[in-house]
Structure 1
C-alpha cells in the first residue's frame, strides 16, 4: 500500500473526491484544498492515472518530515533509498512547491533535495545521475507547507489534463479537466443519452471530452509516456491488464453531440483534435453564427459552452451586444434546455436576461471563473421588451447628438466629444474619432459600490452601438483617473493600431487603444486653429509638443520654421509621422527629443510664436527634477520670454483645474496677459468649462 496525493484545480476538490471514490471504491479518501489523499495499491494508482478526468497529478509519497533549518531538507531527502526508484544513468527533475520564513526560495529548496540525491548516488556508486528539465526519466515533487516537507514520486509525469489529442488550439483554450468538470456540473454526465451542444466550440475541448465520456474511453488512452514508465518499481503486467480492461469497456456512443463555431479555422482545428482523440465520427460539426444558427436537434438537451468573456473590462465592450443577441436567441430556440456557461465576467451574463439556477467557482488556468447553470423554463424563455433608447442616459446622448449636428456643419473635423458626464450617475466621456468611439470612464466616487459602477458602464456600452449605429468592435473603453508623472502617458496595450483622422485641413494619426490619451487633445481644437492663423511667416516653437498636432497646424499656416520639442522619443517619432502624413517636409521643421525645462535654459534661438502646454505634474526618470506647473510656471515662462522676439507671443495652456496664473510676476517680465480660456473652449467641451486654461502672453516691447 502507498500513500497517494491526487491534485486537482481549485474549485474541483469535491468533484475529484467523488470521482476517486468511484474509481477506487474500497479506499477511504480525505479532502484537502486542491488535493485528495488516500492509501492505495499500485493498481489503484495506475487506474487513477488512466481514468481520472479531473486530476492533474498522482503523487506517491516517499518521505516526510519537519523542517527547522535548511539542512533538514537534505536530511529528509537522504532518508529515501533513491537507487530503489531509478538508476544512476537515468535523468531526474524536482518540482519544489511552497515556502516559509526558513525556506523562502523554492529554487533553493529544490537544490538542497537535488544535492541529497546526487550525493547519495555518489557515495554508494561513485557516480551521480543528471538533472534534466525536459523529458526527465523521473519526476520528483516536494511539497512544503508551514514546517512540514513531503517528497513524492510523480507517477503522472506531465499533467493529466494533457490528453495528447490537441493538434492546435484557439486563443485562451479551455483545459481538458475543466471541460469535464463543466459537463459534470451541468448534469449531462449523469444523463449522457441527452443531446449535447456547444455553440461556440473553439478548438472543440468540451465536445471531445463529452465524446470520450460517452464512449467510456479513458482520458489517458493516448499517452505513451508516464511518470512511472521508467520507475524501477513499475509493474508493467498490472498496467497492461488495466489498459486491456479499459479497451474492452469502450462502447459505441448513443447520443448526439453537436459543435459549432463562427470561425471556420477553429472548426477545422476542432475536427482535427477530435480525429486525434478518435471521436470525430461521434460529433456533428457546423460553422455558423451562434446567435443565428439552430442545430437540427429534435429533443431538448444540454448546452454547455465557454463563450468569450474578455479578461479586461475594455474587452467586454464588443461582447455586450453579442450576449444581448445570444440571450434572445436562447429564449426563442432553446426552450426546456439546460444551459451551463463559463465566464470570468458574471456582469456580462446579465445581458442574457436569464435567471440562474446555480453557480460554481472554478479556475481556468490562473483566471477565476464562474460556471453558471440555467434552466430554460417558461420563466426564462419569456421575452421582455427592453427599451434601451428610453433610458436617461440614452435620451441625453440622443439630444447631444442632435445638438452636435448643428455646430458640426460649421466645423471641418471628424473628431469631437458627444457626452461628458452630463448625468452624474453615468460618469463617462464619449469621443468620436471618425467611425470609432472612445468611452473614458472617470473613476467612480468612493461612495458608489464597484458593482453598481460596473453595471452602469455595461449599460452604456450596451446602448452606445445601437444609439450611434456603430460597430461594437470599434468602441474602446478606458478608465480615466488623476494621473501624475510617469503615469500620465502610460501604455495600456501594445497593439500599435493607428487611425487617420482629420481636423481643419490637417491629418493626424491617433492610437485609440495603447495609451490613456489618443494622440490628439480634442479640447485644443480652437487653440490649434489660432496657432495656424498666427503662424504665417513666423518662427514657431512648440514645447511639450506631445504628438506635434500644434506643430502641424503651424506648418500648414505657412510658418517660416517650426521647432518641436518633447522628452519622449515615442512622441517625437509620432510627430514626424504626422508631418509626413500632411506632406510637410524640409529642414525648416526640426524635431528635438529633450526635457523642455532644461533644454530651454541654454537655448539661444529666438521665436515669434511659442506654444507651451505642459503637464500638471511630472517626475519622469528622464527629468533631473520634478515638475509642478503651479510651482514652476513662472520660471518656465521666464526662460521662454528670453527666447521670444520683440513683440512675440506665447500661448500658454495647462489642464490643472485649480491653476492660478501669477499675473504680477509675468507683468514684471514685460508680458501683456490676455485670458483665452473661454475663447479656446470648443462647443463640444462647454459642458466642462474647466477642461483647460489658456492665455496669450505678448511681449510688451
Structure 2
C-alpha cells in the first residue's frame, strides 16, 4: 500500500492524526509538523479533498544519503522521472534542509532540477520547463542530517488555499489553522451558533460554516499538484469530487447553523462578505461593522461558541494597546456572553492574563513563526477573576505578597527612605528607585513624579517564561503599593525573547500625536520642563542618569555655541539654552525625536531663532561641518553603543569608532572649546589618549548621581582644546 506524508503547523500533529484516521487511512504515525500514513490512491484523493488541517501531502519516491551536491545530482539522475513528469509540461523543485552539509536550499533545488532536465535530455526527449507560478508537477526535496527524501508534492501549493479568499486583509490566519482552532474550540457545537467579534477577512466564519455544513475544503480548488502528475487518475478524482458535491448539497439543505461576525474595519467587513459569497455561504453568515465596545448593542442566544484572533503587533506602543484590547474583550465576554464557550488566540501570556478569565484548557501551536496559545474558556461566574481596578490604590497590598515579593517591597522602601533627604535637597522628582537589586526581580524602576516606569531586563533562557511573568507582576504590584498609586499609573516595558516577528524594542519612527495626548506627560527637572512618554517607546525621552551631565553642560553654556550630536529629545540643549547659550545646533537621524525636541523647547518658552534642528546621520553631518569650517565653543556627544540603521551607509560601533568620532568633533571646537563625551557601553575602553592639542579627563564621578549608585549607566569625559 502506498505511503504518504501530510504536513501541518507545529502543535497540530495530534489533530491531523485523528483526522487522517477518520478519513480511513492506515498505519498513521505522528512526527514533528508532519504525519505519515498509508492508503490506496482513492484514499489519498479523499485526503486531498477532505483534509481541513494538512498543509501539504507528499508521495515519497526516493531516499538516499548525500553529503555533497555531486552525490545529490547523481542519485536524483537515476530516478525514472518519466513516471512522474510529462516532458511537455512544467515542473518546480522546492527544498528544505536541516542540519546538513547541503544547506543552501536554492542551490539544492537547482541541482535536483539539473538532474531532472538532464534525465530527459539523455533520453533524447524534450526537456520540461520550470514554472514558478503554477507548475504541473512539484518535486519536494527534504534533507535532514544529510539524508535526502525526494517526493511528489500532490498538493502543489498550500492546502490552506481553499479557493474562496478574494481579499485577505492584514495578515489573515491560514484556513487550515483556523479549522484546527475551531476543532479545539469544540466546533461544530450543539447550539449551532458561532461568533467572531474581530472577524477580519472572515476565515473562522467561513471555515466554521464549511465544517458544520459538511462542505469539503478541497471542493473549490482549481489547482492541485496532483492534476499534472503522470500518474493522476482523472476518473477517481471525479468520483471523489462528485461525492463531495452531494454531501455539500445535503449539508446546505439541512443548514441548521447561526454564524455571525463583526469587525470595526469597514474594509475588512466588505472583504469577509465577499469571501463568504465566493464560498456560496453568504446566506448562512452574517457580518456587521462593530467594534468590541459595541457588542452590547446586539442580542445573542443563551449559548454558543466565540472564536477570535485579536490583532497584535511587534511594536512596543502597540503591544500596550493590544493588552488593553484583550482586557476590554474579557470585560465584554464576562458581561454579555455568560453561558458561552470562548476560544481566544494569544501570542503572549500577558495578553491572556489581561482577559481576567480562568482558562479551562490551553493549547500551544505556531501561527506561522510565532508561538501562540489558544485559550479555551467556559464563561461562567466561577471562572471570572476579580481583579483590583487599575484606577484604584491597593492599600493592603502587602497582605497578598509572597515572601520574595515582601523582600522586594522592603528593598524599595529602604531605598526610598535613603534617598528622601537627597531628593528633597536637590528638588528631584524623577529618579531611579530600584535597579535589579534582587536577582529574582530583574528590572529597573524609575519614578516620574506621580508615575512609575518599569523596564524588565532580559531574563536568562534558564528562567521559565511563566515564572518571569509572575515576578514582573509582583514588581508592578509592589511598586504601585509602595508609592500608593493606581496600577494605571505604572508603565511596564518588557524585553521578552523574540518570537517570530515580535521584537524587543519599539520603532523609532512611529508617528505619534501631539504632546498634549494622553501618552505624553510633563515632568520638571532643575526648573526645566520636559515631555516624557512612558508607554510608547523603550526609552521615555529623558535619560535620568544624565541629570548631572545636563547640569554640567548648563554651567558651561552661558554665551557659548553648543553642538548636540545624537541629540535625542535635546534635553541637554534645553538646559544650555535656558542657561544663556548663544545658540544650539541639534543633530539626530530621527524625525520623531527632533519633533519631540522642538516641543521641549516650546514647553520652556525658548525661541527658535538661535537654535537649529537638523535631521541627518551624525557621521555624515560631521564631515560636511568640517568641510564648511564650522566651529563651536561646546559640544555634547552621547552616541549609541551600536547602530546599523538603514539611513546609514555603514554601521556604527562606539568601541571601534569613538577615536575617529572624537577627533572629528575636536576639529569643530573653537580655541579653548570643550567636548563632553559620554556613552553607556558597560565594557567601553577609552582609546583616545589626548595629545598636544587636547587634554582628556574622565569626569564620570562628577556626572554620577546618588540614585544610580548601584549601577551607573554611563561613563563620561571632558576633552578640552588647549
**Common fold, TM-score beyond 0.5?**
yes
Match of 2:307 in 1: 304
What is the deviation of 1:562? 4.6
1:386-418 Cα shifts (integer Å, max 9, x gaps): 676204699999xx9xx99xx99x99xxx9747
SS at match of 1:259: strand
SS at match of 1:286: strand
Q: Please, which of 415, 418, 421 is the counterpart of residue 434 of structure 2?
A: 421
Match of 1:197 in 2: 195
What is the deviation of 1:315? 4.5
Q: Check conservation: 1:23, 1:48, Cα contact below 8 A.
A: yes
1:75-95 Cα shifts (integer Å, max 9, x gaps): 443343323333322111011
Say if 2:634 is the partner of 1:610.
Answer: yes
Match of 1:14 in 2: 14
Could you say if the C-alpha distance between residues 598 and 242 of structure 1 is closer, same or farther in structure 2, counting changes exceeding 3 Å? closer
Counterparts of 1:107-118 in structure 2, within 5 Å, are 107-118=106-117
SS at match of 1:317: helix
1:40-81 Cα shifts (integer Å, max 9, x gaps): 333222211111101111222333334465444334433433
Q: Matches of 1:671 and 1:537 in 2, distance apart?
A: 24
Q: Check conservation: 1:344, 1:369, Cα contact below 8 A.
A: yes
What is the deviation of 1:129? 1.4
Match of 1:485 in 2: none
What is the deviation of 1:9? 1.8
What is the deviation of 1:109? 2.6
CA RMSD of aligned residues (A): 5.5
1:352-374 Cα shifts (integer Å, max 9, x gaps): 33332222221211111222222
Structure 1 residues not aligned, in runs of 5+? 482-489
Greater CA drift, 360-369 or 281-290: 281-290
What is the deviation of 1:24? 2.4
Q: Matches of 2:385 and 2:492 in 1, distance apart?
A: 32
Q: Check conservation: 1:604, 1:643, Cα contact below 8 A.
A: no
Could you say if the C-alpha distance between residues 281 and 511 of structure 1 is closer, same or farther in structure 2, counting changes exceeding 3 Å? same
Q: Check conservation: 1:611, 1:651, Cα contact below 8 A.
A: yes
Q: How many residues align?
A: 661
Q: Matches of 2:682 and 2:226 in 1, distance apart?
A: 69
Q: Please, which of 262, 273, 285 is the counterpart of residue 287 of structure 2?
A: 285
1:606-634 Cα shifts (integer Å, max 9, x gaps): 86x535454697899657964789xx99x
Q: Check conservation: 1:309, 1:345, Cα contact below 8 A.
A: no
Q: Matches of 1:40 and 1:658 in 2, distance apart?
A: 62
1:513-567 Cα shifts (integer Å, max 9, x gaps): 9975466545556765775676454344556756655446545666445566x7x
Match of 2:265 in 1: 263
What is the deviation of 1:593? 4.1
Counterparts of 1:120-519 in structure 2, within 5 Å, are 120-189=119-188, 191-250=189-248, 251-252=251-252, 253-290=255-292, 293-294=295-296, 295-311=298-314, 315-381=318-384, 383=386, 389-390=393-394, 391=397, 417=430, 420-421=433-434, 425=441, 427-430=443-446, 439-443=454-458, 450-457=465-472, 477=493, 479=495, 492-497=506-511, 517=539
1:116-152 Cα shifts (integer Å, max 9, x gaps): 2111211223431112222112111122334543322
Q: Check conservation: 1:480, 1:516, Cα contact below 8 A.
A: no
Match of 1:486 in 2: none
What is the deviation of 1:211? 0.3
Give TM-score scaled by structure 2 length.
0.73
Could you say if the C-alpha distance between residues 445 and 73 of structure 1 is closer, same or farther in structure 2, counting changes exceeding 3 Å? closer
What is the deviation of 1:210? 0.5
Q: Check conservation: 1:183, 1:304, Cα contact below 8 A.
A: yes
Q: Check conservation: 1:314, 1:476, Cα contact below 8 A.
A: no
Could you say if the C-alpha distance between residues 478 and 229 of structure 1 is closer, same or farther in structure 2, counting changes exceeding 3 Å? same
Match of 1:40 in 2: 39
Q: Check conservation: 1:202, 1:261, Cα contact below 8 A.
A: yes
What is the deviation of 1:331? 2.9
SS at match of 1:188: coil
SS at match of 1:226: coil
What is the deviation of 1:10? 1.7
What is the deviation of 1:246? 1.1
1:149-186 Cα shifts (integer Å, max 9, x gaps): 33222221111011122222233321111111112122
Could you say if the C-alpha distance between residues 266 and 592 of structure 1 is closer, same or farther in structure 2, counting changes exceeding 3 Å? closer
Match of 1:487 in 2: none
Q: Matches of 1:108 and 1:658 in 2, distance apart?
A: 41
Give TM-score scaled by structure 1 length.
0.75
Greater CA drift, 155-164 or 41-50: 41-50
Greater CA drift, 582-591 or 353-362: 582-591
Q: Matches of 1:226 and 1:638 in 2, distance apart?
A: 64
What is the deviation of 1:241? 2.0
Structure 2 residues not aligned, in runs of 5+? 399-407, 498-503, 516-521, 645-650
SS at match of 2:199: coil
1:614-656 Cα shifts (integer Å, max 9, x gaps): 4697899657964789xx99x99997999544xx777777779
SS at match of 1:17: helix
Say if 2:101 is the partner of 1:63.
Answer: no
Could you say if the C-alpha distance between residues 108 and 627 of structure 1 is closer, same or farther in structure 2, counting changes exceeding 3 Å? closer
1:274-318 Cα shifts (integer Å, max 9, x gaps): 122211221232333335624523331222222345456764422
1:311-338 Cα shifts (integer Å, max 9, x gaps): 5676442233333343343333333322
Q: Matches of 1:517 and 1:266 in 2, distance apart?
A: 34
Could you say if the C-alpha distance between residues 268 and 430 of structure 1 is closer, same or farther in structure 2, counting changes exceeding 3 Å? farther
Could you say if the C-alpha distance between residues 542 and 207 of structure 1 is closer, same or farther in structure 2, counting changes exceeding 3 Å? closer
SS at match of 1:342: strand
Larger Rg: 1
What is the deviation of 1:443? 4.9
SS at match of 1:379: helix
Q: Matches of 1:284 and 1:389 in 2, distance apart?
A: 44
SS at match of 2:292: coil
Q: Matches of 1:639 and 1:74 in 2, distance apart?
A: 61
Q: Matches of 2:232 and 2:121 in 1, distance apart?
A: 24
SS at match of 1:108: helix
